[in-house]
Amino acid sequence: MLKAERAAYIEKKLDELYPNPPIPLKHKTHYQLLVAVLLSAQCTDERVNQVTPILFGIAPNPEEMRKLGADEIYQVIRPCGLAPKKSRAIAELSDILIRNFDGKVPDEINVLETLPGVGHKTASVVVAQGFGKPSFPVDTHIFRLSQRWGLTRGKNVAVAERDLKRVFPKARWNDLHLQIIFYGREHCTARGCDGRVCEICQHCYPNRKTPFTAIKA
């Protein structure tokens, strides 16, 4: 099966399973989405969604967050991984947004990446889910599945993102980003599927005899 044929099947199957994929992180504003995505690094969405209602109840915008300060932010977000680093980043980016961006979150990936604690994936998620701009953030689930499904042979997320953007229509990137994540959590998990178990793996590689070995740097 050619890569284009696999991609077409995957797109169709994911649309059947997740026709309207929801944004998993709870938020009411672009700023809250930015903070929530930053917190989700090395932390589950479920844990973030437990913490952010408390945090945003105290400081719903950059002005209030700046007043709160890194130490108080830390006390709220301690259940999230890397809390000391994240609390400093949230305090600093809130100050920068007020001073340089009139308190508004930029809608360009390259500008977002200049903010403390905001890497390429975080910036890509914010522009996709917050502003509806085509983007294809690659997390661990997407990286794992894109290799298992033969959509990339990239050894890092940057190459995987490039290959996924080439094989799927631009208009579908934002939905597919979420659909693949949901499928990776529910059906093609890190330990529950070895490249031969889930429906998509079986369809794309029906003759695969041995477990798929991840391509590593």
Q: Point out the catalytic residue in the list 139, 155, 165, 194.
A: 139
85 has catalytic annotation: no
Q: Point out the catalytic residue in the list 86, 121, 163, 175.
A: 121
95 has catalytic annotation: no
SS (H, E, C) the chain: CCHHHHHHHHHHHHHHHCCCCCCCCCCCCHHHHHHHHHHCCCCCHHHHHHHHHHHHHHCCCHHHHHHHHHHHHHHHHCCCCCHHHHHHHHHHHHHHHHHHHCCCCCCCHHHHCCCCCCCHHHHHHHHHHHHCCCCCCCCHHHHHHHHHCCCCCCCCHHHHHHHHHHHCCHHHHHHHHHHHHHHHHHCCCCCCCCCCCCHHHHHHCCCCCCCCCCCCC
Catalytic residues: 121, 139
